Structure 1
């Protein structure tokens, strides 16, 4: 199939984003920027795995953060009980993925036969139950306070990856080669690997079947595809990928709590990122994750600078008050939806189509 101008533009944009994330520790050397870059990596995977559901099969689920939390809590609990090391991380990742697989298969087999709105409500109820259990099982999950633990020694800031002739931490382009760099590239490589796996999945014949189910479920059923089986399978895959993303995030944060991995606010962010980037593209989630995470971290600062610049003018300083950043974020979202009805990536691909 011939690639359109819009498709190439989106692909080059996504490639540039991944290149910026690859060199983020060297391009943006303050601690906050590295935190933002790591969060973007995690949300690219999380939003991409959700796009497998809503974008490729039309499944609306509100339980995605539940699977994200399973992976995070699996690693967190074992790191606290067994101490820092790779064994608890691997066991926690496996336990979280297995639990996600079982729960997703159960929900899918029991609920995907019903209408979309009822399935969405069932997943919302399941996510609410998981949030309540995480808050109440304090002996296991730490309750509302969450769990604090130590990461493997390789990821500790005091770890020296390279040393100079004097035995001090070596620097590369002004960046100290310590455990913090190792932790970031653990997040980056894990996210890149999972994202590549999702790209391969949607480009495969299986991905073509998912698109067929999304476009016309009755026709897909008529030509012999078992729609419920396919939807359940992709629901399970999406859950496992979200769980693995949660494990990576837990290792990076060294803290896991209900608000960081199970909050409904995270689910809202995922939905916004999918809509902004473009559903059913797998490239859109990259753009949506970058825009929303950067806005959440830097829009207040930008508005503060703008308010200071127009301080001599009437009304504008009040409108640009940093405390109103959520208002402006909502306005930006409305504008994006209006001018990019299929998301940024989807609209760009559609408008770039040549006859």
Structure 2
């Protein structure tokens, strides 16, 4: 309970889902030794932290920001540029973090102070403009960022796949790639637990009050712009940290992997699927969305072949792997229709109704 900052899942099924996901991620290098499976587990960890940081804004303050991928990209590029310029060393990683995290915090502070006084839609448009300008800037400054090609780099020797610590650990080698994964896993877990502490603190209660009625919160004496700006800075720091971990996982940073608007849409989808204003929804949403993104096409291929062998009409065409995006979209529409408060919200409501009968 203390680890979860006094905010338990409040649903048995949700608890089982969360335990299954966390245990699966914690044991991923042992249970799923393949390169693709480990890459998927890494992406789930990073996006769970990134989506949780965005949930702090959207779910707990009602603020819609399109600049979140900008902070994510700042963290990625800071690590990439430092390791590319200074070489594969731990000091280069430290310098990248020392430059990237304060830069993200300062930009978030500036955006918050100058923009959070306006109406929500205007703030969203301002953040979209700033994020678009940053994307263009990163693409144009080829001497620094590598332009459209991005920056590839090497990690310190301890984190390289060729560095083997244990050749056979229950049938799986433990190497630098495994160490990199656990650094990412522990870092993302710490950020999510930290955000749980924030939203369950008096500061988090004020954020929820601002979300419900900003004018009433101001009338009670709370400085709403200060609280919203502080939340924006915290979310930016977590997003930049997630971006730094993503760059280390990919050993690359570029516009498509760090600053793309498609990443922003994915974040929004994960928040809605998991449940806004819960933090736990980030873990559920990231796991479901990324697993579907990586394995739905293969599953549809198997289903299409099975339908064709059974001689069923229409189904082989409908389940063709090329139509996986269509089915992913239908799954999203169904989840919004049947779970308007997200999976976490629906499970909590069901558990609450069961206990009050």
- TM-score, with normalisation over the residues of structure 2? 0.95
| Cα distance per residue 1:191-245 (max 9 Å; x no partner) | 1111111111112111111111111212211111111110000000000110011
Aligned match of 1:309 in 306, 310, 319?
Answer: 306
Q: Which runs of 5+ in 2 are unaligned?
A: none
Instruction: Count the aligned residue pairs.
Output: 348
| Cα distance per residue 1:254-289 (max 9 Å; x no partner) | 011000010000000000000000000000110000
Counterpart for residue 227 of structure 1? 224
Aligned match of 1:67 in 71, 75, 82?
Answer: 71
SS at match of 2:185: helix
Question: What does residue range 252-271 of structure 1 map to in structure 2 within 5 Å?
Answer: 252-271=249-268
Aligned match of 1:81 in 61, 67, 85?
Answer: 85
Query: For the residues of structure 1 that align with 2:189 and 2:8, how far apart are their CA atoms?
Result: 25
Query: For the residues of structure 2 that align with 1:52 and 1:212, how far apart are their CA atoms?
Result: 13
Tell whether 2:12 aligns with 1:18: no
Query: For the residues of structure 2 that align with 1:217 and 1:82, how far apart are their CA atoms?
Result: 47
Counterpart for residue 91 of structure 1? 95
RMSD, matched Cα:
1.5
Query: For the residues of structure 2 that align with 1:220 and 1:22, how far apart are their CA atoms?
Result: 41
33-42 or 181-190, larger mean C-alpha shift: 181-190
Report if aligned partners of 1:307, 1:318 keep a CA contact under 8 Å in 2: yes
Query: For the residues of structure 2 that align with 1:219 and 1:52, how far apart are their CA atoms?
Result: 20
Tell whether 2:248 aligns with 1:244: no
Aligned match of 1:27 in 31, 39, 48?
Answer: 31
- TM-score, with normalisation over the residues of structure 1? 0.95
Report if aligned partners of 2:336, 2:342 keep a CA contact under 8 Å in 1: yes
Counterpart for residue 345 of structure 1? 344
Shift of 1:10: 1.9
Report if aligned partners of 1:89, 1:247 keep a CA contact under 8 Å in 2: no
SS at match of 1:97: helix
Counterpart for residue 45 of structure 1? 49
Counterpart for residue 149 of structure 1? 153
Report if aligned partners of 1:4, 1:352 keep a CA contact under 8 Å in 2: no
Query: For the residues of structure 1 that align with 2:12 and 2:211, how far apart are their CA atoms?
Result: 24
Q: Which runs of 5+ in 1 are unaligned?
A: 163-169
